[in-house]
Copies of this chain bind each other. A is one copy, B any other.
Amino acid sequence: MNVLAPQSSFSNTPVALSPSAIVSIDLQIRSYIIDIGAAFLGDPQLYSNLPHASSVVIVSNTTVAPLYAQPLQSALQARYAKVHSVVLPDGEEFKTWQTLNLIFDALLQHGCDRKTILFALGGGVVGDMTGFAAASYMRGVPFVQVPTTLLAQVDSSVGGKTGINHPLGKNMIGAFYQPLKVVCDLDTLKTLPMRELSAGLAEVIKYGPIADLVFLDWIEANMDALMARDGPTLAHAVKRSCEIKAWVVGQDERESGLRAILNFGHTFGHAIEAGLGYGMWLHGEAVGCGMVMAAHLSQRLGLIDAAYVARLTQLIQRAGLPVVGPVLDEADNAGRYLDLMRVDKKAEGGEIKFVVVDGAGSAALRGAPDALVREVIDGCCV
């Protein structure tokens, strides 16, 4: 599978986002837009084209709600008579059925019906859980993504993957379910803890090696500005990331092929998250380290050279991300990684499929001998 993105159709020139940028996701009747801009979340204009409903519900968490629920609520009250809210505990370890059920309880207690719109205000966990709640409540109600973390803005809020974790595997239970729209307010990135900014940068970096070497160059040149949260630089990173994701998802909504490349670094990363226990490392941290491992695997498969591995590793490190994997089992660390990776959703008949990259900015899905994978893990963990 050779999957070069049509780079010529996109711009890598940073643009000041004033007042807004729009990226479209083309999925026929499920198409929608991503609005990207500053001071957006509390602007009633952003919600003026949404369908009518007798009530809407803001789903957020204990960290984000105190910061941003009020402006969103005010904006929605201009259009909807009843604006309820649900505040979930914060953290990947709460991405469970029990927490999801808090949303269902609230929807039923408030008498929400099939037209009620859910608003996911928060990071990836809030977005994934709210999306799955929307997919499942009364067999499907509409929802809107209002991502407040870099990771959610560049990745998890776009493309309709929703779900919760199972003790035996990450995101094992969920649905492909598209939002009505995505509203990315860049101002929310100002309050993001540094660790979460780094985690988001992992997903930004990802788009370079899998689809766009020009963007990879741009990220390298602008990493200091990104880490310093320079507004226009972050704006371009969000826009370009969304463009690439939209391009991939538009071709393969349900991950029957191409879309799997977006999981570069995720197979190793999911093993780290599950092995340490959800919430120990942030998802983006595990993906950052996972990309280093996937790069080493790509090298051992003869797809890239050592210099390219070093280049990616250095960039990931500059983003403040871990580049050395944790030891998950003192006795047989590689064996533990392999066991955890065998329940990955990309696996088939017990064979793990890895996203590997070549030097030309494209990625593919491949199996690899256990012995080779063991060498990679042994070389990448301390």
Chain A residues proximal to chain B, CB less than 8 Å: 54-55, 97, 101, 104-105, 108-109, 111, 113-115, 135-140, 161-163, 166, 168-169, 171-176, 254-255, 342-343, 345, 347-350
Q: Are B114 and A345 in contact (CB under 8 A)?
A: yes
Known contacts A138-B172, A140-B254, A348 near B108 by CB under 8 Å: no
Chain B: minimal CB distance from A316 (Å): 28
Instruction: List the 3 closest A-B pairs by CB distance, nearest first.
Output: A54-B349, A108-B168, A138-B345
Known contacts A140-B175, A175-B136, A113 near B347 by CB under 8 Å: yes
With A111-B342, A137-B172, A139-B174 given, name 16 new contacts (CB 8 A): A97-B97, A97-B101, A104-B173, A108-B166, A108-B343, A111-B343, A111-B350, A113-B345, A113-B347, A114-B348, A115-B349, A138-B172, A138-B345, A139-B176, A139-B255, A175-B175
Q: Are A135 and B97 in contact (CB under 8 A)?
A: no
Chain B: minimal CB distance from A167 (Å): 9
- Report how far A9 CA is from B55 CA in the complex, Å: 43
- Report how far A54 CA is from B41 CA in the complex, Å: 47
Q: Are A173 and B137 in contact (CB under 8 A)?
A: yes
Contacts of A171 in B (CB 8 A): 139
Q: What are 8 of the A-B contact pairs (CB < 8 Å)?
A: A54-B348, A97-B101, A104-B173, A108-B168, A109-B168, A113-B345, A113-B348, A139-B162
Chain B: minimal CB distance from A367 (Å): 13
Contacts of A343 in B (CB 8 A): 108, 111
- Report how far A104 CA is from B347 CA in the complex, Å: 16
User: Nearest CB to that of A107 among chain B residues?
Assistant: B172
Q: Are A54 and B350 in contact (CB under 8 A)?
A: yes
Contacts of A108 in B (CB 8 A): 166, 168-169, 172, 343
- Report how far A108 CA is from B347 CA in the complex, Å: 12
Q: Are A135 and B104 in contact (CB under 8 A)?
A: no
- Report how far A104 CA is from B174 CA in the complex, Å: 11
Contacts of A54 in B (CB 8 A): 348-350
Contacts of A348 in B (CB 8 A): 54, 113-115
- Report how far A136 CA is from B97 CA in the complex, Å: 12
Contacts of A166 in B (CB 8 A): 104, 108
Contacts of A55 in B (CB 8 A): 349
Q: Are A174 and B136 in contact (CB under 8 A)?
A: yes
User: Nearest CB to that of A135 among chain B residues?
Assistant: B175
User: Nearest CB to that of A255 among chain B residues?
Assistant: B139
- Report how far A53 CA is from B172 CA in the complex, Å: 19
Chain B: minimal CB distance from A355 (Å): 16
- Report how far A104 CA is from B175 CA in the complex, Å: 14
Contacts of A97 in B (CB 8 A): 97, 101
- Report how far A348 CA is from B139 CA in the complex, Å: 15
Which of A105, A109, A343 has the most chain B CB atoms closer than 10 A to its own CB? Answer: A343
